[in-house]
Amino acid sequence: MSRLSDERVTSLHGAGGELMGKLLAERILPAFRLRRAGPIGLDELDDGAVIELPPGQVVVTTDNHAVKPFFFPGGDIGKLAVCGTANDLAVMGAQPVAITMALLLEEGFSLADLEAILTSAARELADLGLPLVAGDTKVMGRGELDGIVINTTGVGVAERAISDAGLAVGDAILVTGTVGDHGMALLAAREGFHLQTELTSDVAPLWPLLAPVLAAGGITAMKDPTRGGLAAALNEMARKARVGIEVRENAIPIRPEAQALSDLLGISPLEVACEGRAVIAVTADHAETVLSLLHAHPQGKEARIIGRAIPDYPGRVVLNTGIGGRRFLEMPVGDPVPRIC
Ligand code: MG
């Protein structure tokens, strides 16, 4: 495969024949050679993988990634496809142990871009020590798909899985970092403002940050504020647990660049996705310990306690806006940024 830069995906790449085998063997599989999760893995190209799991509760999650643009400030669809799924496991309290990846490609998609995307995904997997155990590639005709869609399915193991519904009155609510970075960075890229702003996506794996926090105990609920952002995550947690959540608006960490863009575009950073943050509910007596553990990790430097679960307004989120002002932080109605993840 010479002159990769102008080579394109063709229908033959998805036909399961010689050309697809060459693409897999030469361009894709070499990037994914990692520690094995079982006696049969990706290398065998068998009909399925066999994995061996440590003791505990098995957690499974799946996600389609259709972000646009495919390369954005701070990341790309490959990195996002790994982090998005690994993070859903992490906020369930599960260590990611295996992942699968299924590619849908549009005929004509650049092979150089594909290689860059897969190399980026492989880098994240290597950092996490997470083996890719199964995969699939299908090619759709021109116009039948917009470029690339990546499905990843993750398997994780938790000592005791954490739901997003477990919070109780009195629990402290934390976020692990600034909110809305991913959504606002994507918006900036789409609107052509990316050269004027330093804002980059927060896309990153959460497990290295959350593992020590989970070990410390006291966590009652967790969620990654992806689509719908912090507003959707808090509302969902409040509704499921039938408690109110009171948040101090000025405690929510927001990058000045994200706020500036928000002021310009009229889209709230509280309503757009993060891809490397967690919302954590923790018993009041563990809150400071959890906060200092988060601060000890490079990804948790800007973690804050932003509020608490309250008996009033069950199912609602109340924002204290300072100087005695209060308003409900509503569940976002639609997605202000389509194809954000
Ligand atoms: Mg999630």
Question: What confidence tens digit (pLDDT) does each residue in 237-255 have?
Answer: 999 999 999 999 999 999 9
* Mean pLDDT across 216-224: 97
Residues with CB under 5 A from ligand 1 (ion): 88, 224
Indicate the burial class of 281 (C-beta count within 10 angstroms; 0-12, 13-18, 19 or more). Answer: buried
Report the distance separating Cα 228 and Cα 235, nearest Å.
10
CATH T-level assignment (fold) for domain 172-328: Phosphoribosyl-aminoimidazole Synthetase; Chain A, domain 2 (3.90.650)
DSSP letter at 129?
T
Question: What's the CA-to-centroid distance between 44 and ligand 1, angstroms?
Answer: 32
Measured in Å, residue 321 CA sits from the centre of ligand 1 at 27
- Average pLDDT score, the chain: 92
- Decide: 67 and 335 in contact? Cβ < 8 Å: no
Measured in Å, residue 2 CA sits from the centre of ligand 1 at 40
Q: What are phi and psi of 339, to 5 degrees?
A: 50, 55
For residue 217, how far is its CA from the centre of ligand 1 (angstroms)? 21
Binning pLDDT at 50, 70 and 90, where does residue 31 land?
A: low
Give yes or no for a contact between 14 and 135, defined as CB atoms under 8 angstroms apart: no
Q: What's the gap in Å between 225 CA and the centre of ligand 1?
A: 7
Spatial separation of the C-alpha atoms in residues 118 and 186, rounded to whole Å: 20
When pLDDT is averaged across residues 22-28 and rounded to a whole number, the result is: 71
Contact 275, 80 (CB under 8 A): yes
Instruction: State the pLDDT at residue 198.
Output: 84
**Residue 191 CA to ligand 1 centre (angstroms):** 27
Task: Give the CA distances from residue 130 to residues 33, 90, 125, 207, in Å, rounded to whole numbers and listed in that order.
Answer: 10, 13, 5, 11
Task: Give the Å distance between the CA of 339 and the centre of ligand 1.
Answer: 16
Residue-level pLDDT at 2 = 46
pLDDT score at 16? 66
C-alpha 259 – ligand 1 centre gap (Å): 24
Domain residue ranges of the chain, discontinuous segments joined by +: 3-158, 172-328
Which range among 2-16, 45-59, 65-79, 159-173 shows the weakest confidence by mean pLDDT? 2-16
Does 182 score more than 60 pLDDT?
A: yes
Higher pLDDT, 251 or 47: 251
4 pLDDT band, cuts 50/70/90, is low
pTM here is: 0.94
Using the mean position of ligand 1's atoms as its centre, give its distance from the Cα of residue 237 in Å: 12
What distance in angstroms lies between residue 15's CA and the mean position of ligand 1's atoms? 33
pLDDT recorded at residue 1: 42
Ligand 1 centre and the CA of 86: distance in Å? 10
pLDDT digits (tens, 9 = 90+) for 276-303: 999 999 999 999 999 999 999 999 999 9
Q: Which segment of 159-163, 185-189, 254-258, 283-287 scores lowest on mean pLDDT?
A: 185-189
Please report where in the chains the tokens 């950092």 appear, as a residue.
127
pLDDT exceeds cutoff 80 at 208: yes
The DSSP secondary-structure symbol of 132 reads E
CATH topology of domain 3-158: 60s Ribosomal Protein L30; Chain: A; (3.30.1330)
Centre of ligand 1 from the C-alpha of residue 59, in Å: 13
Joined together, the tokens standing for residue 150 give: 């990546």
**Cα of 224 from ligand 1 centre, angstroms:** 5
User: CA separation (Å) from 140 to 12, 13, 23, 27, 187?
Assistant: 10, 10, 16, 20, 27
Average pLDDT over residues 29-36: 72
Per-residue DSSP letter, 27:
I
Q: How far is the CA of 242 from the centre of ligand 1 (A)?
A: 19
Say if residue 338's pLDDT is above 90: no
CA of 7 to the centre of ligand 1 (A): 36
